Structure 1
Amino acid sequence: MADHEQAAETGAPRYTRTGDEGITTLGDRSRVEKTDPRIAAYAACEEANTALGLALASGAFPKDVVTVLARLQNDLIEVEGDLGTPLKDRDDRQSRIDENYVRRIEEACEHFSSQLPELSSFVIPGGTLGGAMLHRAYTDVRRAERATWSAVDQCGDVNVRTGRYLNRLSELLFVLARTANAEHGDTLWQPGLTARVGLLPSTDEEAATQE
């Protein structure tokens, strides 16, 4: 992340050649291998942010959801910066994710989930285009959260609130995916479905789809 920022500041091409030996720079200018758990954590957040960008580009959401998703993208940049900068005991000038970030996610979860019916089974990803894309973003954030907790455990200088934030964010994206599918309705898991009806459609089902 630091190499990318350095290139952006100077207006240079995106390649800096400083990472050609598999080493990169953290936010405090310390050098680490690109396999460092902190790199894996903020890289996973970048992927999750890209998934949100794709979802927004679909144009499939009402204005309030668009606003929330765009602001979440901004938050994720701040999460990346936090993960990419080791904690310091003194003179820590890096902006950090705090409990207020977590609280805002929880408030948004409560706001949108209050408009949804209770679930009676597991939700199968899909539905509308917007809903399916947010289900995908949800799984990307879950992976970012796992990578973050791994960095917390292995490095000891990672802000634990980043993990809490990503945990709540995944829940919010699940709720927003359901919100996007509100008119369509959730597609719910049916236990033992193919054991009862088989995998291929019956003649009656095929006829119904052609009507």
Structure 2
Amino acid sequence: MVVLNKIYTRTGDAGDTALGNGTRVKKYDARVEAYGTSDELNSFVGVARLAAEGDMDDALARIQNDLFDLGADLCRPDMAKDAESEYPPLRMVEAQVERLEAEIDAMNADLAPLRSFVLPGGSALSAHLHVCRTVARRAERLSVELASEADINAAAVKYLNRLSDWFFVASRVANSNGAQDVLWVPGANR
């Protein structure tokens, strides 16, 4: 259970922060960049939800919760010590990746195949989902970079990879199942 009685602690005033295991690192540490960007993504998902309804809003709410799970996973180093920990850390699991894949397949089943790249836009929700897509890709790049120097959960990287695909397909659904997609016309303004 999380209890937040006092919001500021002054412990980060010198430019460092605590990871999930208590280790202190610089605020620009690769691990902090990775989970901080997943938190930024969560905020953008919240903005997208302002334009979402029904099943789409429900799916985005699930994703927001997953993104907190992801942040909890990324902020906790020392995966090798998970099994011996009195309180094992929360880690992303394959089932979360598989749920995204199933949702992508279900959404994509009603969409016409693309004949061009899609420009962000069409509806407000679609535009917001494209922002989510690009921030998810950045979070993925940062997580892959982190994985090159530290041990991280492979399911976390997979989740981010699928999530950006999910946002892309969902953006097409938000554009009247692709009918309002704004297509790229190569060289149109030469």
TM range (shorter): over 0.9
Corresponding residue number in structure 2 for 1:202: none
Higher helix proportion: 1
Aligned equivalent of 1:83, options 65, 70, 74: 74
Corresponding residue number in structure 2 for 1:206: none
How far the C-alpha of 1:186 sits from its partner, in A, is 1.0
Alpha-carbon contact 1:23-1:34 (below 8 Å) kept: yes
Corresponding residue number in structure 2 for 1:207: none
Structure 2: gaps spanning 5 or more residues: none
Corresponding residue number in structure 2 for 1:46: 39
How far the C-alpha of 1:10 sits from its partner, in A, is 4.1
Structure showing greater radius of gyration is 1
Secondary structure of 1:121 counterpart: coil
Corresponding residue number in structure 1 for 2:174: 180
Q: Deviations over 1:43-88 (max 9, x none)?
A: 0001100000001123xx3411111000000000000000000113
Alpha-carbon contact 1:116-1:182 (below 8 Å) kept: no
Q: Matches of 2:4 and 2:90 in 1, distance apart?
A: 22
Q: Matches of 2:114 and 2:40 in 1, distance apart?
A: 29
Secondary structure of 1:24 counterpart: strand
Q: Give the superposed CA RMSD.
A: 1.5
Corresponding residue number in structure 2 for 1:129: 124
Secondary structure of 1:91 counterpart: coil
TM-score, normalising length: structure 2: 0.93
Corresponding residue number in structure 1 for 2:152: 158
Structure 1: gaps spanning 5 or more residues: 196-211
For these two proteins, the number of residue pairs brought into alignment is 185
Corresponding residue number in structure 2 for 1:140: 135
Corresponding residue number in structure 2 for 1:17: 10
Corresponding residue number in structure 2 for 1:70: 61
Q: Which amino acid in 2 is paired with 1:40?
A: E
Secondary structure of 2:17 counterpart: strand
Q: Deviations over 1:23-50 (max 9, x none)?
A: 1111111111111101000000011000
Q: Which amino acid in 2 is paired with 1:30?
A: T
How far the C-alpha of 1:182 sits from its partner, in A, is 1.7
Q: Matches of 2:17 and 2:74 in 1, distance apart?
A: 14
